[in-house]
Amino acid sequence: MLQENDLQPPQLLAAGFTQPAPVPGEVNTTGAEDSPFSTPDGKTLYFFFTPDVRVPVEKQILDIVTGVYVSRLVDGRWTDPQMRQAG
Q: What is the pLDDT of residue 79?
A: 92
Residue 3 lies in a domain: no
8 pLDDT more than 90: no
Q: What is the pLDDT of residue 86?
A: 63
Note down the domain range covering 64: 25-74
Q: What is the pLDDT of residues 14-71, one digit of tens each?
A: 777 777 777 877 777 777 888 888 899 999 999 988 888 888 888 887 888 888 999 9
Residue 37 lies in a domain: yes
Residue 59 lies in a domain: yes
Residue 9 lies in a domain: no
- What residues are paired with 32 via a beta bridge? 50
Q: Is 71 exposed, middle or buried (0-12, 13-18, 19+ CB in 10 A)?
A: buried
Phi then psi for 18, rounded to 5 degrees?
-110, 165
Residue 65 lies in a domain: yes
Q: How many domains does the chain have?
A: 1
Residue 16 lies in a domain: no
Q: What is the pLDDT of residues 18-33, one digit of tens each?
A: 777 778 777 777 778 8
Contact between residue 49 and residue 32 where contact means Cβ atoms under 8 Å apart: yes
pTM over 0.75: no
Instruction: List Cβ neighbours of 56 (8 Å cut-off, separation of 6 or more).
Output: none
Residue 1 lies in a domain: no
Residue 80 lies in a domain: no
